[in-house]
Structure 1
């Protein structure tokens, strides 16, 4: 195929092969120095060429295809110079035999004349038969020269017969050879190889090749997360990346022997407009990939957070109100990935038609033919259009297309999808106000089948964002943090899918309460609309919850919701973070926490709706975010708030719950009444409220054993797979500094504290319960690691090791987190609890952060009663319930300011100088 480098401007500024060849020719034929001197000349030419390509990319950062072609052109010239040097001087033969033929061929991506800075140079040496001694020696010389230049070479040596045999047997080899391109050597030999490849490998195998490449693509997508909208995408291999575009070209070339992407139009696989979109997508993705290689100096294909900011800056994206430069860049990236998906569907549809009428490649056949299609038709079992003007005649049909697909369980023909994309602009204000369109949309959104699948199609076609313009504003919008795994639109559709699966009973094991509550929900469609709108105002200036509620107040009446339903949706959007914030950042054993929460919720129906919305919102953030501990906290808050809303703002139920817990514990322990009564009296009421039954039982047995053995310190560990953590309990005489030393010991052992409940018995003993996870977010369960936790805690409390030195030796914060900056913030709330001062610290997450904060509290001479640790990617939110040393709330402006200063310094990793 013709090299793209032929259209490169000012090619000789990259490398002038004749000039370099002249310099090489001027070197004396001294065997001892020729190779070394030649390597220096070639290395300088390679470095100068790379610098020139980098300069051009810096000057014109969006010219990705040009940069890729320039690197390939540079590699071509270097390879030709090396080949000539080896053949003509280093391995010169005055009279070579007829069998001493050799051709150097570019394969793979290099064969397409596309390369990024750090890409491998994939080459093949072809010989007419088994390589002669001269050919083997020449190939070895060429490779050593290339390695001396620092090039990463992927190479093979084959006779033409071997090439044919291996290409037949191996799809990867066949694909690499499919893109082969002559570089240098015996051109007639290359022509013969290409003729035999087409005649003996390609001929008659088009269908199997298509099937295998699509299966290979699907497997690759699955490895990469199977979504175009992961926030750290793989530009080369990920869904919607360069490899997907390459796959289209491979199929076209294999089936129709096209030699360039532009030829796909001539054979009917792309329209001219689709070709333009293909080239735009390819150009952008190549620009991103080349920038990544240039920044890192290595073949980095994953667009990580730290690279996103740098690439955005190099490609000259600027901040806008409510949108940072990196978020605008990533939105462009995801829109491009979406376009690649659309092009793939259209390409395969054209390919279907080119093979045979109704001879589909992959999609299943219809089991039955729906009777009512409202003017739409079926094409090979897929929903299609009777003519190209069908949508424009009645734009409401753009919504009906997707509703009918859901209603009848139909796939949509890619050509109908293309027409929907083209005609989406016909959705005007009049269409958005049309009651028919809104009824159809609401039917789809609240479908009892699989609404998310079809909503995703609607989003891919651009119809979703046109019909709901506020949703269009969050399409492909990323949230630049380490917490959210998907773009806002993908997160929203995923949340709708989770809600649908809960309603259909498919997640009953994970969410038994939510599954049971769904059958009791009165305002079912209200919940679906609230899930749709909960993040609709992300990326705007201001609180997205408040702004989203305003969107709901405008949009819900248009969708046909009643005033009461609209009010409920707006409330749910406004307070969709309330339940998680309360459960994860507040002490649920403090009754005022429950009262304040219930006062905002006000009704049992709202509570049910809010719980389910909170669950699907958290789970839709990404894999690994949901765990058993969050399930338990949300369930505990739900039950306590439901009791308040049912019984009124009284603590009647609280006393009953405590009594029931104590009865169950007494039965499990089997102690006599006097012994259990004495134990019960030792523990404060807050202990009985805060701890779950299994923790109460573990604590009681541990305390009994420690008291019987007169142990001054007892450390207990018990893996808890249900919570996804390990319970670590410390029983010792209470004294100042106990908490921060325990926290330090746990971190030295490699643990992360996700929750801490600190209790002091009426006779002055500390019973501190910690939930601890390993570095991978799971429970410690290996006996040796559990023993290490117990040892490091004991050493920390006994001052047997220099705790600060051991903490300093731990690994620094994750590299990915360095792409972000979280400004430390301390919020002191004297009204959240009747008994405690509540302090919330927001900071950049890092190892031993909790230890640093706890030490600052120790220095401030306050008592910690509970600590609640929440992590949202790079952001840590640690909340402490505090009193002064006499057990009262912390009072005094100066004292509170001093507390705030110490915590801010600790959050920032600084040591605050104490006053003399």
Structure 2
């Protein structure tokens, strides 16, 4: 046996193979019945397996960060189980006293098992190797042993090949070739194993290193792309994700294939890792293995995605404690991302060593773009990459730690991994004195506001640790996650992505998505103001207070140091303080209520601030993650911008109420497509408030809807609206109490999510309700079958054909794993936000029945809903209602307000059928 498991203490406490072997001999002696023997063996080995796993878990809980020990112990346990089952099979079930040359067999471990690293529910990857084509005896032995392992509940990945077949398969298949790189002898004929290993080295490995490296790196890139191509996604895959265990494995496979090393430490002797990098490798691998072992244990199965519902429990098992401004789970995940970053650093330097070893003279093994810049200010080019002339180049002038990135940006160069490694090592040279040097700040600002590719270079700077050292407040949010389902990335990754999006907008690469922002970026008074604002907008997260307020104060200190003027500093500070204002106003308030626009404009105060705030809001939302931005948000932000810009420019609306109504009627008449008499007859049925509230295209659709309804008591229509990214659902019905909550329930039952709603009453007493609805993936309902299902569900709900709430609550949560979060419900009643309405905002945990229950609570409170606006932020829903009492007055009595708040809080918190009677 190798020394792979020599470091494990008290191995017999995990499993005592000698004692179990004696007991197996006793079982064989007790009965000759093969069936009884097999059942007794499985029972004994299962008991030993369960006891061994329990002992390993106990050790892991005692030392929750000792991932390698737990992984090695599990592999050791499985080794003994495989050996015992093999011995019993060959000695007692199918003994062969006089074997031929072909009746030999060796059992090998491959893949992670071969490496000696197994999480509790990892596959048991084994191979049975025979010298020639299988004989009936070897077939019987292999089949019997596999059945024993399967009966133990092990998930076995297996192969049965002759030595020739093994060599052919390894040559043909990269996966098999990789698995065999880590092959390890477990039991059986040792001489046969040595023969197979020697042939693998001579016929598969020798002379094929270049091809293997190229294939493994291509495989890695494809895996990264498949897993999201970022090591900073907030639900990472511990094994396959970028910065995960598989990246470390790839380095080892490459090193092993090239240099035939047996263990990771031997990579130092091979020149592919330094001693310091070996320690970095060991720390990252140990931590990631620990996380994976805890994950398997909690899941009770092979699970490698570190989802929200496991993160909190693993943080607790690994003994992370809360700190001011950071929960235990956020501290745990920050350490996870720092280790993932460390894996990325290792990969870069490892590949640089590899490049040096495998490249032909004057060329590179790994391709790159070749540039010929002019001045390099003392830096040199090494086969097209920016490199250092001497190792102490940064120590002689630490400002060069910033200059190397500025040069890389200016000339479109890659930075040599050895230079990146030296930058990581020397980043500590950046102190308060260096941060005050004007040249250093100019270089940093050059990169931040680069017209080329600031996102890539800032990410390099962040990976080298230079970013966080030069802007220490940014260093505090490096690898910091936000434990919610809304943000997809860590704070630093979100910020760098936002800067990249800002650059894309400025360079007109996103004109179709953001025409207004693109036009604004062409005419800004100060480019660097918006770039610095994007850099600082989330920089105070995790400090235990309002990050907008804290960030604004921080901006007043950072901006002058970066070289911004007093006016620019004030603007950046204001933008950071109010960077959530525009989205909160657009998504949670009624933009048809002029008081909303006036209040917003009063805070903004200048057209330049408005323009900057729009661009900041757009990149902030888009950088949250894929699928967060949509056409509806674009339309709301544009509508708010246009209205506020008009007020800021003129000091009032350009047109009075009557003029606006007349203008809308004229525009609608042009779209309506029917005669003037028909238009006028329909228009008279709609009150003035309706004409103010709805946009032209919705009014045109409503008029057509009313005309089609005729005298019908109920008419429902649904029209996909690609501009808004939603479907306009129109309901014309006899007005009666409870209409809104029933319609909402029907829409939810059909799988729709309501993102906006307006409730109107025609002059002849009918209810005209408009809902904007999306499917669960944030898209419009567009297919005929979907629309038919939607309208039928609303009809059933209005006819009270079925109990709404039980069906709603039977539906799955709109987002998987939302149960991992707890959002404390809150209700805010505001009588100052509107001149005509009481504005009620409810914050609660998102769930299918929520809007229906809130609407029912308003119905019970004898409140009339005039409009509803729904915003979701991951697991958190924010529903805003513009309401009056039944005679159209605000709800301002203290007792009435408290009663309304109490009822809505109960509805927001309730998951039971008691919350709604219908």
Aligned to 1:858: 859
Q: Which residue of 2 aligns with 1:7?
A: 7
Separation in 2, partners of 1:656, 1:198: 87
Task: Output the CA distance in 1 between the equivalents of 2:242 and 2:551.
Answer: 30
Q: Is the 8 A contact 1:905 1:911 kept in 2?
A: no
Residue 24 of structure 1 corresponds to 24
Distance 1:610 1:908 in 2: 35
Question: 1:3, 1:113 within 8 Å by CA — same for their partners in 2?
Answer: no
Tell whether the 8 Å contact from 2:589 to 2:596 is kept in structure 1 after alignment: yes
- Is residue 2:111 matched to residue 1:108? yes
2:817 is paired with a residue of what secondary structure? helix
Secondary structure class of the residue paired with 1:4: coil
Of stretches 352-361 and 423-432 in structure 1, the one that deviates more from structure 2 is 352-361
What corresponds to 2:776 in structure 1? 775
Deviation at 1:7, TM superposition (A): 1.5
Say if 1:643 and 1:653, in contact at 8 Å, map to a contact too.
no
Cα distance, 1:36 vs. partner?
Answer: 1.1
* Within-5 A mapping of 1:25-44: 25-27=25-27, 28-31=30-33, 32-44=35-47
With over 3 angstroms needed to count, the CA separation of the structure-2 counterparts of 1:384 and 1:2, relative to structure 1, is: farther
Choose which of 243, 247, 252 in structure 1 pairs with 2:250: 247
**2:370 is equivalent to residue 366 of structure 1:** yes
Match of 2:527 in 1: 524
CA distance in 1, matches of 2:688, 2:453: 48
| Whole-Å separation in 1 of the counterparts to 2:274 and 2:806 | 66
SS of residue in 2 equivalent to 1:50: helix
Q: Secondary structure at the match of 2:487?
A: coil
Residue 869 of structure 1 deviates from its aligned partner by: 0.1
Unpaired segments ≥5 residues, structure 1: none
Q: What SS does the corresponding residue of 2:733 show, helix, strand or coil?
A: strand
Q: Could you tell me how far apart the structure 1 residues matched to 2:613 and 2:816 are?
A: 36
* Alignment partners' CA distance in 1, 2:915 and 2:91: 74
Q: Distance in 2 between matches of 1:805 and 1:292?
A: 34
Q: Is the 8 A contact 1:105 1:184 kept in 2?
A: yes
SS of 2:533's equivalent in the other structure is: helix
Alignment of 1:310-459 (within 5 A): 310-356=313-359, 357-367=361-371, 369-459=372-462
Secondary structure in structure 2 of the residue aligned to 1:729: strand
In the TM superposition, residue 2 of structure 1 has moved relative to its aligned partner by 4.3
1:608 is aligned to: 611
What's the counterpart of residue 305 of structure 1?
Answer: 308
Pairing 1:757–2:761 present: no
**How far apart are 1:467 and its partner, in Å?**
0.1
Q: CA deviation at 1:913?
A: 8.8
| Larger deviation, residues 353-362 vs 432-441 | 353-362
Provide the C-alpha distance between the structure 1 equivalents of 2:638 and 2:600, rounded to a whole number of angstroms. 14
Deviations 1:687-733 (A, max 9, x none): 223323322221111101112xx101100011223322211110112
Range 440-449 or range 670-679, more displaced: 670-679
Alignment RMSD (CA, Å): 1.5
2:729 is paired with a residue whose SS is strand
Q: Hey, what does 2:86 align to over in structure 1?
A: 83
More displaced, 871-880 or 815-824? 815-824
Partner of 1:627: 630
Map 1:887-906 to 2 at 5 A. Answer: 887-906=888-907
Q: Determine the structure 2 residue equivalent to 1:180.
A: 183
* Whole-angstrom distance in 2 between the partners of 1:658 and 1:412: 61
Of 127, 143, 146, 2:146 maps to 143
* Alignment of structure 1 residues 497-896 onto 2, 5 Å: 497-650=500-653, 652=655, 656-707=659-710, 710-812=711-813, 814-896=815-897
Question: What secondary structure does 2:373 align onto?
Answer: coil
Contact 1:224 1:237 in 2 (8 A): yes
- The worse-fitting range, judged by mean Cα deviation, of 369-378 and 449-458 is 369-378
Paired with 1:802 and 1:171, the residues of 2 have a C-alpha distance of 57
Count how many residue pairs are aligned between Structure 1 and Structure 2.
912
Structure 1 residue 364: Cα displacement? 1.3
The TM-score normalised by the length of structure 2 is 0.98
Q: Deviations over 1:419-464 (max 9, x none)?
A: 0000000001000000000000001100000001000000000000
Cα shift at 1:813 = 6.1
User: Is residue 286 from structure 1 mapped to residue 292 from structure 2 by the alignment?
Assistant: no
Q: Deviations over 1:730-789 (max 9, x none)?
A: 011222111001001111111111111111122222111111111222111221221111
Instruction: Provide the secondary structure at the position in 1 that maps to 2:879.
Output: strand
**2:494 pairs with one of 491, 494, 501:** 491
The DSSP-based 3-state class of the residue aligned with 1:871 is strand
Listed one character per residue, the Cα deviations across residues 376-420 of structure 1 (whole Å, up to 9, x for unaligned) are 110010000010111011100001010110001000000000000
What is the CA-CA distance between 1:358 and the residue it aligns to? 4.0
Q: Is 1:50–2:64 an aligned residue pair?
A: no
- Counterpart CA distance in 1 for 2:376 and 2:900 is 68
Contact 1:485/1:622 (<8 A) preserved = yes
The answer to which of 156-165 and 903-912 deviates more is 903-912
Does the CA contact (< 8 Å) of 2:907 and 2:915 recur in 1?
no
| TM-score of the two chains, using structure 1 as the length reference | 0.98
Q: Distance in 2 between matches of 1:116 and 1:793?
A: 50
Q: Secondary structure at the match of 2:684?
A: helix
- Native 8 Å contact 1:365 1:380 kept in 2: no
Distance 1:292 1:617 in 2: 32
Once structures 1 and 2 are overlaid, which stretch shifts more, 605-614 or 718-727? 718-727
Counterparts of 1:872 and 1:913, CA distance in 2: 24
Unpaired stretches in structure 2, ≥5 consecutive residues: none
**Aligned equivalents of 1:371, 1:776: Cα separation in 2:** 50
Do 2:805 and 2:849's aligned partners in 1 also have CA atoms closer than 8 Å?
no
Given that residues 481 and 820 in structure 1 are in contact (C-alpha distance below 8 angstroms), is that contact kept between their aligned partners in structure 2?
A: yes
CA–CA separation in structure 2 for the residues paired with 1:804 and 1:35: 54
Distance 1:8 1:900, change over 3 A: same
| Partner deviation per Cα, 1:303-330 (whole Å, 9 max, x = no partner) | 0001000000000000000000000000
Deviation (angstroms), 1:478: 0.1
Contact 1:590 1:686 in 2 (8 A): no
Cα 1:250–1:638 shift into 2, 3 Å: same
Q: Which moved more, 1:624-633 or 1:756-765?
A: 756-765
Q: Following the alignment from structure 1 to structure 2, what is the Cα–Cα distance between the partners of residues 546 and 176?
A: 54
Are the counterparts in 2 of residues 720 and 727 from structure 1 also a CA contact under 8 Å?
yes
Task: Give, in angstroms, the shift of residue 669 of structure 1.
Answer: 1.8
Q: Is the 8 A contact 1:352 1:358 kept in 2?
A: no
1:260-313 deviation per Cα after TM superposition (whole angstroms, max 9, x unaligned): 000000011000000000000000000000000011110000000010000000
Q: Which moved more, 1:509-518 or 1:74-83?
A: 509-518
The range that moved more, 694-703 or 74-83, is: 694-703
CA distance in 2, matches of 1:913, 1:750: 21
Distance 1:250 1:359, change over 3 A: farther
Is the Cα contact below 8 Å between 2:330 and 2:480 reproduced in 1?
yes
- Measure the CA separation in 2 of the matches of 1:358 and 1:255: 21
CA distance in 1 between partners of 2:884 and 2:914 (Å): 22
Deviation at 1:96, TM superposition (A): 1.5
